[in-house]
Each structure stands twice: as structure tokens, then as C-alpha cells.
Amino acid sequence: MVMDKHVCPFGVKSKWLLEREGFSVDDHYLTTREETDAFKAKHGVETTPQTFIDGKRIGGYTELREHFGHDSGDAEGTSYRPVSAVFAVGAALAIALSLFVFQLPFTIRTAEWFVAFSMAMLAMLKLQDVEQFSTMFVGYDLLGRKWVPYAYAYPYLEATAAILMAGRLLPWLSIPVALFIGAVGAISVFYAVYIQKRSIKCACVGGSANVPLGFVSLSENLAMIGMAIWMLLRPTL
């Protein structure tokens, strides 16, 4: 579909994928709603674009990806990619800042910044939709289930602790907050995954991602606990 106020993104991506695979594309635009509806009725399909190779209909963008042996790109499947991206960017930021400040990539502050930056980004993702996050969170968090306001407060508590820890500010506030939410989170995840053997989605990157609850979620909470204990034992550097 190519109209004045809408260009189908899957059509653009389908054309790009075909050309990347070495095909010469004969592109047919559907420029009106009537033309689009007529095309769907003619071919018995519910969506556009539709790709035909040598006269055989392959299907939409998802089917085209599968035709060439790629994953479907379907966001419904579970994946650790969202949380892995957070940790990778957090590590890169920590290393870059350490190089700027200390002219060394790996220092004690690199580790501290990595944990703080990762916590801050995870909190930011939760804060995008606190309502959706809280709905997922109360599904496994023991305190959130007993006292729902905690589920709404959690992203703000995590963000506050992360920001303060990044600058080693107000340790009397950041340390107990990180210890508390990290401990409750670790116990809740361990109980849900390893005691109850539940297979559910984690709310660690907000409510829209399909990250499975498990080791990564437990590691996030243990990192908060470890960071709090570290700052308690080494209040100054």
C-alpha cells in the first residue's frame, strides 16, 4: 500500500529483502483503499503486501522471511534479546566512561557503573508503561501480590537507586532501597521458577517484552544486592 498518508512498512521491507536475495522486483502499488480491498478479495488474503515468485504466491513479509530461511521476526516468541541489549549497552557505557575518566577500560568504577546503568535502563523500560509492568509483576512477585502499590512503586525505586548509585550519592538511601527490592525480587523469582516450576514472562524490561522469567531475572536482582553490599563495605574509593 502506497497512499498519500500511508506507506506500508512491510511492503518496503519485503522489497528490500527480495532485492537482498538477488531478485529483480516488479513492484505493484495499491494506491486506494478500494484497490487494496479488491486485491485482498481476488487472492483470498487478509493482509498486504503479498509476494509472488515466478507466479507462485509466497505470502506476506513473515512468510517471505521464512521462505528464505530466516526467522519469522514474530515478536510473540520468548527471547532474551531485550535484556541482553540493556546489559550490552550498559557495559559499553561503563567502559567508555571509565576510559574517559581513568584512561583504563576496566576499573572498579566500570563494574559499578555497569550495574547502575543497567538498572537505570531497565527501570526506564518499566516506566514506559507502569500499568502493564505492574500487571505482569504481581503475577510472580511475592510482595507485589500482597500489596499492589509496591508493584507501581518498583520502577521508581529501581530508577532512584540506580541514579544515586551511579554517582555514589545518598548511600543511606540507595543502599537500603537496592537491598530491599533486590532481595524481595530474588526470593520471588527463585520461588516462582525453581520451586513452583512456573514458565512465565518476566517484567524486568517492562510489560511489552517476552523475556522468560529465570536466571537472567534472578541475576538482575542479585546484582542489585551485590552492588548494595559492595557500597556498604566500601563507602569510598
Over residues 84-106, the pLDDT tens digits come to 899 999 999 999 999 999 999 99
Residues of the chain with CATH 3.40.30.10: 2-67
DSSP calls for 83-133 = HHHHHHHHHHHHHHHHHHHHS-SS-HHHHHHHHHHHHHHHHHHHHTTHHHH
With beta carbons less than 8 A apart as the criterion, state whether 166 and 113 touch. Answer: yes
Confidence class for position 219, pLDDT limits 50, 70, 90: confident
Model pLDDT for residues 164-194, shown as the tens digit of each residue:
999 999 999 999 999 999 999 999 999 998 9
Model pLDDT for residues 58-78, shown as the tens digit of each residue:
999 999 999 999 876 555 556
Beta bridge partners of 7: 2
What backbone phi and psi angles, to 5 degrees, belong to 49? -80, 165
Query: Prior bond to 49 cis, omega within 30?
Result: yes
> What is the dotted CATH code of the domain comprising 2-67?
3.40.30.10
User: Which cell is 197 given?
Assistant: 516450576
With beta carbons less than 8 A apart as the criterion, state whether 237 and 227 touch. Answer: no
Three-state secondary structure call for residue 53? strand
Write down the pLDDT at residue 206.
73
Determine the Cα–Cα distance for residues 106 and 112; give it in Å rounded to an integer: 11
| Global confidence as pTM | 0.80
Write down the pLDDT at residue 77.
58
User: Which cell is 37 given?
Assistant: 480491498
Write down the pLDDT at residue 126.
92
The C-alpha cell 520502577 sits at: 155
